[in-house]
């Protein structure tokens, strides 16, 4: 069964005229249901990820300042969203959605997170509309819990590889050819997901 992470927090309200197309997160599952590709039974609502899992990837100081809404204006300009409790809750929910999707993919072969792909965040800072790096959080969770031996992240986004290496700082990086014959979890970010 195809399991798709979706939460109404994904479509976070932004100021009028903001350049980020946040409405896509409501439109994607709606369009898939309209076309008969999925039914409501395919959708699941992730809970927020726990702090211990976040700290497998992100620096404690950065996380605690984010959690307490103490990121600087300069930091938030690099992220591109106004900081709020609701935005932080959105980010931690997306991260848990990616972890849940990885686990469902192990069970069913594939799973999708409607808002997954917040992969521009570094371990100690956010960037490019991303406060937390859900790909790295998911990868580090799987590795920490021995659910995978190696992780392959395929990034088809136009600005590739901005932040994965810093967030996977304790994980050796492998070429795709080195991943054969072992457990591989494949996270795919397609350009089509943000158009």
CA 60 to CA 71: how far, in whole Å? Answer: 13
* CA angle (177 as vertex; 174, 179 as ends), nearest 5: 55
pLDDT at res. 82 = 94
| Whole-number CA gyration radius for the chain | 16
Most confident of 85-89, 109-113, 154-158: 85-89
Are the CB atoms for 39 and 3 separated by under 8 Å?
no
pTM: 0.84
Beta strands in the chain (DSSP E): 3-5, 43-44, 111-113, 150-155, 184-189
pLDDT at res. 116 = 85
The model's pLDDT over 37-86, given as tens digits with 9 standing for 90+, comes to 999 999 999 999 999 999 999 999 999 999 999 999 999 999 999 999 99
Are the CB atoms for 152 and 186 separated by under 8 Å?
yes
Q: What Å distances lie between residue 174 and 123, 151, 168, CA to CA? A: 20, 8, 12
Residues contacting 73, CB < 8 A, separation 6+? none
The model's pLDDT over 90-135, given as tens digits with 9 standing for 90+, comes to 999 999 999 999 999 989 988 999 998 888 899 999 999 999 999 8
Structure tokens, 61? 């100081």
pLDDT at res. 156 = 67
Q: Which domains does the chain have, with CATH numbers?
A: 3-12+19-194 (3.40.800.20)
Which string of DSSP letters, residue by residue, matches 38-53? --GGGEE-PPPPPHHH
Q: What is the DSSP letter of 119?
A: T
Taking 50 as the threshold, does the pLDDT of residue 191 lie above it?
no
């Amino acid at each position: 069964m195809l399991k798709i992470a979706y939460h109404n927090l994904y479509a976070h309200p932004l100021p009028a005229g903001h350049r980020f197309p946040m409405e896509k997160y409501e439109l994607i599952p709606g369009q898939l249901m309209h076309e008969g590709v999925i039914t409501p039974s395919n959708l699941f609502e992730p809970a927020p990820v726990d702090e211990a899992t976040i700290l497998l990837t992100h620096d404690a100081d950065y996380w605690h300042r984010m959690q307490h809404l103490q990121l600087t204006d300069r930091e938030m300009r690099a992220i591109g969203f106004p900081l709020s409790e609701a935005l932080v809750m959105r980010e931690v929910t997306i991260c848990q959605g990616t972890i849940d999707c990885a686990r469902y993919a192990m069970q069913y072969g594939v799973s999708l997170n409607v808002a997954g792909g917040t992969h521009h965040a570094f371990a100690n800072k956010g960037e490019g509309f991303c406060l937390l790096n859900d790909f790295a959080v998911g990868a580090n969770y799987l590795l920490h819990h021995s659910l995978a031996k190696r992780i392959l992240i395929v990034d088809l986004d136009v600005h590739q590889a901005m932040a994965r290496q810093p967030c996977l700082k304790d994980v050796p990086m492998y070429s795709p050819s080195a991943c054969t014959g072992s457990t591989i979890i494949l996270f795919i970010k397609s350009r089509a997901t943000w158009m």
